[in-house]
Structure 1
Amino acid sequence: MILVTGATGLVGGHLLWHLLQQYEKIVAIKRASSNMNTIHTVFKFYTKTPDEYLKKIVWRIADVNDYDSLQKAMSGIDQIYHCAAVVSLGGQGENIDDVNVSGTRNVVELALAYKVKKFCYVSSIAACGFSHKGEMINEETPFQSSTHKTPYAASKHAAEQEIWKGIEKGLKAIIVNPGVILGVSGAKSSSTLLFHQVKRGMMFYTLGGSGYVDVQDVVKAMILLMDSNIHSERFILVGENNSNQEILNWMATGFKKPKPFIKVGRRLITVIGFFSEISGKIFKYTPLLDRSMGVSATNRSYYSSQKIKDALGYQFNPISKCIADVCRFMLQN
């Protein structure tokens, strides 16, 4: 039996859909307070009859930080796709280490105890190394804590260390490091928030850029890796390296909105981030922008997916098509 953690999120929702094309039943974990909007929206993207597929999911109530509930939920499981995470693009984030590190440690420990046959962990390019001179970042680029690395990046890197510890103890595991993931979601968070902002109209852009990937490519690659004999390996999943302006322009075109035309430099966005941080501390909220996000938004990092291409012969979807499909769905729904 296959288990998916983080099943109500962007990656988890799309993963469930693709797994259900191969299997009759999938076990998925959700918290008692989980919002099911994303998974309903995701299934509507693929089919006009989402309920026919949703009823095939065996839901188990658990929390990756609640060892007892997790222990019950993982009983009888052969394969685990560990997608549960707190995603925070900035320097803040509620319970980041609790979920991303401690939660991953719990899942790994129980996977070893239950002798799970194979394990896939969804990490991030944030946990990869940093390029200072525009060189391609690959799986071997060393991770270094620096002013460019956010608490989110540090948490994903630490979570990967929990996977490697499990591998040393005999766990057959795969780590995937997706780029900025784009796809249909019912939530207004992380990269999905950008679609909603552009749909309302956006005038500003930054000169930075990063590696982007279609969520469908992420989950397809995960399934192919889990169905292969490959284990104890790490794979970057990036479809294209794009500038922020390029991404925003494609979104604006998809929503029939004017393209952003005001360039925001690093100095200004860092100052805005600084005052947002102060405001967040005073009024006790997580700001949408902080200094680390300002730096990230103006950096251009390049990532290589050559390893996954060589291992599986995998070909990624064009990012422009992915964005066009998401925009079309959002306009129709």
Structure 2
Amino acid sequence: MRVFITGATGFVGGHVAKCYAAEGATLRLLTRQTSRLDSLTGIDAEMVIGDLREPMKLRSALEGCDALVHVAADYRLWVRDPEQMYASNVTGTRELLKLACESGVQRVVYTSSVATMGFRADGTIVNEETSVSLKDMIGHYKRSKFLGELEAVRAAKAGQHVIILNPTTPIGPGDSKPTPTGRIIVDFLNKNFPAYVDTGLNLVDVAEVARMHVAALGHGTPGERYILGGENLTLKQILDRMSAITGLPSPTMKVPHAVAMAFAFFDENFTGRLRGKDPRATVEAVRMGKKMMFASSSKAERDLGFRVIPIYDAMRTAIEWFVAHGYAPAFDKRMA
């Protein structure tokens, strides 16, 4: 089986590529001119240089492929030019699916996000059937992923074999960018997490997310969405678990959302717009934090053989990886 994978140089995509390589697939991987290839070390694959913002140039990369696994996305919670995010996540997705259909690619796995679900402030555990609309999407990242997912649904309704996966918040080794979630771990390890807000996330082992990208090709139903999640945890519980692993203190001061919003507004404008650097806190992230992002993966368990795995080991290996690769100093306590 020949598989074209986008986003293979990213965190989730790198794990997906390794899973397909282990299955013996012939791989064709999309990379950018400036992409780091560390995550692809040891993988036998044909590298294709391209960009989702120029999808028409990817037609030749799709030719002769049996499957497209579209993992790539612009995943940032703060952007100077939002149009570039929509060009990648919405227009790029629509045109790539169209090209795959025209090129005779038989099956597609599209990596969406749990961000497209209808979360509630009261901590209600949501699933794929929870009502949601574009107006519920906070910020450009969520809106662009919601619209990109609609393109995948439309393609499936038109007869294309497209399976939609919605990972929650993956953690594990290899988060080199790092992602916004990885940044939480890095900030904690560097003692840059003096306080917390009352919010919650669902953390999932990135290895299990990657495994589902292989399983979905054979077991998923076209047009269906599948949440891939793990443990529902408050931010305080996440910090406490990292403290138990490392011996570093967990913050005890809870900050009201209004205070966090004021800091984020200042950080965006001073750090982001005046200094030209990515802010540590964003207004979008604080607005998201007012909702508990708790989700159920029962549909993926039933239909795809997904496993809800305790997050401790993935958290520990993520911490080990960040320390080993210089993102944070070593700590005294032996890792449990």
Distance 1:187 1:277, change over 3 A: closer
Contact 2:12 2:206 in 1 (8 A): yes
TM-fit CA distance, 1:74: 1.3
**Structure 2 residue aligned with 1:48:** none
Q: Deviations over 1:1-30 (max 9, x none)?
A: 111001100111001111111115311110
**Structure 2 residue aligned with 1:10:** 11
Q: Which of the numbers 192, 200, 207 marks the counterpart of 2:198?
A: 207
**Structure 2 residue aligned with 1:193:** 183
Secondary structure, in 3 states, of the residue corresponding to 1:174? Answer: strand
Of 287-296 and 168-177, more deviation after overlay is shown by: 287-296
2:230 is aligned with 1:242 = no
Contact 1:91 1:152 in 2 (8 A): no
TM-fit CA distance, 1:282: 4.3
Long gaps (5+) in structure 1:
41-50
TM-score by length of 1: 0.89
TM-fit CA distance, 1:146: 4.2
Matches within 5 A, 1:117-196: 117-146=106-135, 149-184=138-173, 185-196=175-186
Distance 1:118 1:268 in 2: 47
Query: Which runs of 4 or more aligned residues in structure 1 lie more than 6 Å from their structure 2 counterparts after TM superposition?
Result: none
Distance 1:328 1:307 in 2: 32
Q: Deviations over 1:77-116 (max 9, x none)?
A: 1101101101123576652101101110121110110121
Secondary structure, in 3 states, of the residue corresponding to 1:2? Answer: strand
TM-score by length of 2: 0.88
Q: Which of the numbers 113, 127, 134 marks the counterpart of 2:102?
A: 113
Long gaps (5+) in structure 2:
326-336
The one-letter code matched in structure 1 to 2:177 is: A
**Structure 1 residue aligned with 2:332:** none
Q: Deviations over 1:91-143 (max 9, x none)?
A: 76652101101110121110110121110111111111132443221111222
RMSD of equivalent CA atoms: 2.1
Of 66-75 and 10-19, more deviation after overlay is shown by: 66-75
2:285 is aligned with 1:293 = yes
Matches within 5 A, 1:243-262: 243-262=234-253
Contact 1:62 1:73 in 2 (8 A): no
Of 131-140 and 266-275, more deviation after overlay is shown by: 131-140
